[in-house]
Structure formats: C-alpha cells, structure tokens
Homo-oligomer: A and B are copies of this chain.
C-alpha cells in the first residue's frame, strides 16, 4: 500500500513526533523552564509538521515533495535549538530530528 521509501519516511516522522513531544513535556518539567521556551515552541512545531507530513504521505498527496523540503528546515531548526541544551531529552531530540531530516533528504533524492 505504501512503497518501502514511503514506509521509511512515515516511520521516521512518527518517531520524530514521539521524541519531540517527549522533549516538550520534559522541558515543561525542568526547574529552569524559562530557559526552555524556544525549545518548547520548536518541539511543538516540529511534532505538528511531522504529523501533517505523515498524513500527506499516507494519502499520497501530490505535494509530498514540497512538504518534505519544508520538513527538512523545520527538523533542522528544532535540532539546532535542542543542541544548545545539555538535558538528555534535548540531546536525544536533536539526534532524532537530525535523523528525520536525513530520511527526508534521502526521500527527495
């Protein structure tokens, strides 16, 4: 129903949604939550867009390429912000966002 390439993208987007939401929830629970606001906002953005792209891939949208390009930027911005913080959840989120970004890139090749 989905080709292997689409399945890989969908799996990666779902993992990214899970990890961004986890990071968001953990950031809210940090004692210095005031320093985590950009991270919280970008986690939400990244999770929302990954979910939108997941649905677009699944419904075989004709705009998957343009949406995937945009996903590369959004995952990249989220990874960049997460890398600034030393919390384990932020470091892990940076890693998964970067991985998702790579899967998006190889999808477009």
Contacts and interface: CB of A to CB of B under 8 A. Distances in A.
A60 B14 contact: no
A49 to B, nearest CB: 8
B37 A59 contact: no
A32 B4 CA distance: 31
A19 interface: yes
13 contacts: A1-B19, A17-B55, A17-B58, A21-B59, A21-B60, A25-B59, A31-B34, A44-B44, A45-B61, A47-B55, A51-B51, A66-B70, A70-B70
Interface of A: 1-2, 10, 14, 17-19, 21-22, 24-25, 28-29, 31, 33-34, 37, 40-42, 44-45, 47-49, 51-52, 54-56, 58-63, 66-67, 70, 73-74, 77
